[in-house]
Amino acid sequence: MRKTIPSGKNVYQKRKICRFCADQNLPISHKDYPALRYFVTERGKIIPRRISGTCARHQRKLTRAIKKARVLCILPFSASSV
């Protein structure tokens, strides 16, 4: 993937792969804490897809799952300072 940085140079970056597209059988569940933890920061924020590499479709599903998990106390809304 070619990217242009502010200085005008072209930088080549490896394209990130959506892990849910790579493995179609991988479920997105709001009850699966170990899987969801991978997509939130230590403070409990949802990691943007430009960083995690998740595709738009799966990021939407993931976001809904994380928000449901927060209601059930499976994930924090905001973790207290470490």
Partner 1 sequence: MRCYETCVIAHPEMSETDSEALLGKLQEYVTAHSGTVLKLEKWGKKKLHYAIKKQLKGNYFFLCYMGNQQILNDIDHALRFNENILRYQTIKADSAAVIAGDSPVPAAGEPDEELRPAARELESTPAGEQ
19 near partner 1, rule: CB under 8 A: no
At 12, give phi and psi (nearest 5°): -100, 135
* CA separation for the pair 13, 33 (Å, rounded): 31
Choosing from 7, 72, 81, 82, the residue that interacts with partner 1 (CB under 8 A) is: 72
Of 19 and 68, the one with the shorter C-beta distance to partner 1 is 68
HSE at residue 57, side-chain half, CA atoms within 13 A, is 5
Residues 23-62 that bind partner 1 (CB under 8 A): 27, 29-35, 44
**Of the ranges 1-9, 10-18, 51-59, 64-72, which one interacts with partner 1 (CB under 8 A)?**
64-72
| Residue 26 zone, left/alpha/beta (φ > 0; ψ -120 to 50; rest) | beta
The two structure tokens encoding residue 73: 């106390």
6 near partner 1 (CB under 8 A): no
Enumerate binding residues for partner 1 (CB under 8 A). 27, 29-35, 44, 68, 71-77, 79
